[in-house]
Structure 1
Amino acid sequence: MSFFTSLSGMKNAETDLRVISHNIANAETVGFKKSNAAFADLVASGSNTDPRKTPGIGSTVSAISQDFSLGPLEQTGRSLDLAINGDGFFAAANPASGDISFSRNGNFRIVASGELQDANGNLVQAMAVDATGATTGTTPGNLVIAVTNAAGSSLSSVSIDSTGLVSAAYSDGTSEPVARIALATFPAADGLRSAGLTNWNATAESGAPVYGEPGVGNYGKLLSGALERSNVDLAEEMVSLLTAQRNFQANARAIDTATQISQAVLNLRS
């Protein structure tokens, strides 16, 4: 039994090493959120078993949770780089399927058609506004900026303020509000499923997204010209890495000791 107990410890230490390695590998990934592995003990006993004689049969992974704490905000000076100072996720639609994914990576760009896209080519979601910049709807849609205005002047620049209001300036000196960037929150963000490329998908555990305006209620304000860096602390991860490695070595040594004991018992002569 000691072999299987130590084997479970080695498997868990390996899982811990994988989680920590993934965190370290993404220490410089914009919008990345680190994960933490949690473990639980396994006990082989029934209702009639004396609890004082239950040694246990090892451990198992109970959960791998995501840490959505705010990462450092780094100034880039680029007007289409956005960071969320607080809660919320950017929402973007896959141009082929229309599926919505959520991210903290605000590295956006404008393509020739005027669509605002994220770094993966997904279409950023925004809420409609009127001529004064007031929000007129709560259901977001694809954000498209007119590359020429009604007078035929071409687009010269785009600005986004802390409330997510997107304004377009044209070569004739005029400017007009276009839309307001939508942010999404969830009843249980820990239930989001990581989809890679710093994107998450909603699940039954996370609940449906609730859209709102930046800076209103629980939704964080936007910082233009900045990006949120990974929330991985390399010093903390290196300490955890050493601890996981020692745990693996200790369980391997326990298996080696159990092997020696078994061999000694088999070599006993009457």
Structure 2
Amino acid sequence: MSFYTSLSGLKNADTDLRVIAHNIANAETVGFKKSSAQFADLVASGAPSDPRRTPGIGATVAAITQDFALGPLEQTGRSLDVAIDGDGFFALENPLSGDLSFTRNGNFQLRANGELQDSGGNRLQAFPVDGAGVPTSTVPASVVVPLTNGSGLALANVTIDNRGIVRAAYADGTTTPVGQIALATFAATGGLRAIGQTKWQASGESGPPIFGNPGIGNNGEMISGALERSNVDLAEEMVALLTAQRNFQANARAIDTATQISTTVINLRQQ
């Protein structure tokens, strides 16, 4: 039994090492949130008449949780870069399936059709606004920037201000508000399902997205011309890496000791 107990420890240490390695690999990934492995002990169904004789039989992975703490904000000066200083996620729509995903990576690009998208072609969601930049609906939709204004003049530039207002500037110097970025929050952020590329999807555990305006209620404020870096602390990860390595070595030594004891017992029986 001691073999399987120590084997569970080896597997857990390996899981811990893989989680830490994933964090370190994404130390420079924009919008990345670090994870940590949580473990729980396993207990055999021992003698109910004497609970003091119930043995432990190892450990198992209880959960791998993500830390959504704010990462450092880095100024880029790029007009279509925007960071969230506080709670909330950018909402993105898949152009093929229509499914929504959520991210903290505010690096957006203007496409030839006027849509604002992320690097994967997902459409940024925003509230429609009137000429003064006041939202006219609480239902977000894909941002589409008109390529010409009412006078037929071409689009010159697109910017996102600290209120999350997307503004289009044209060749004659006029500007037009196109939409206000919609931020999504969740009743239980820890229940979000990671799908890669620093994106998450809503799940039954997280609850549905609650859309709101930047800077209002629990929603964070927009920081124009900036991006949120990974919240991985390399010093902490290196310490955790050494601890996980020691745990792996200790469990391997326990297996080696159990092997020696078993070999000794077998040799005694053969004598």
Q: Output the TM-score relative to the length of structure 2.
A: 0.98
Counterpart position of 2:59: 59
Q: Distance in 1 between matches of 2:263 and 2:176?
A: 83
**The residue matched to 2:8 in structure 1 has which SS?**
helix
How much has 1:47 moved relative to structure 2? 6.5
- Whether the 8 Å contact between 2:155 and 2:168 is mirrored in structure 1 is yes
| Moved segments of 4+, more than 3 Å | none
Counterpart position of 1:115: 115
Q: Does 1:100 align with 2:115?
A: no
Matches within 5 A, 1:38-57: 38-46=38-46, 48-57=48-57
Matches within 5 A, 1:241-256: 241-256=241-256
The aligned amino acid for 2:262 is S
Structure 1 spans left out of the alignment, 5+ residues: none
Deviations 1:157-201 (A, max 9, x none): 122111111111111111111100010000001000000000101
How much has 1:51 moved relative to structure 2? 2.1
Counterpart position of 1:220: 220
Counterpart position of 1:140: 140
Matches within 5 A, 1:126-137: 126-137=126-137
**The residue matched to 1:205 in structure 2 has which SS?**
coil
How much has 1:19 moved relative to structure 2? 0.4
Counterpart position of 2:231: 231
Structure 2 spans left out of the alignment, 5+ residues: none
The aligned amino acid for 1:198 is T
The aligned amino acid for 1:139 is V
**The residue matched to 1:57 in structure 2 has which SS?**
strand
Q: Distance in 1 between matches of 2:49 and 2:253?
A: 30
Counterpart position of 1:158: 158
Q: Distance in 2 between matches of 1:173 and 1:58?
A: 69
The aligned amino acid for 1:84 is I
Q: Over aligned residues, Cα RMSD in angstroms?
A: 1.0
Counterpart position of 1:70: 70
**The residue matched to 1:23 in structure 2 has which SS?**
helix
Matches within 5 A, 1:80-91: 80-91=80-91
Counterpart position of 2:24: 24
Counterpart position of 1:196: 196
The aligned amino acid for 1:94 is N
Matches within 5 A, 1:175-214: 175-214=175-214
Q: Distance in 1 between matches of 2:6 and 2:147?
A: 64
Q: Share of identical aligned residues, percent?
A: 69
Q: Distance in 2 between matches of 1:126 and 1:76?
A: 22
What is the aligned residue count? 270
Q: Output the TM-score relative to the length of structure 1.
A: 0.98
Q: Distance in 1 between matches of 2:241 and 2:159?
A: 43
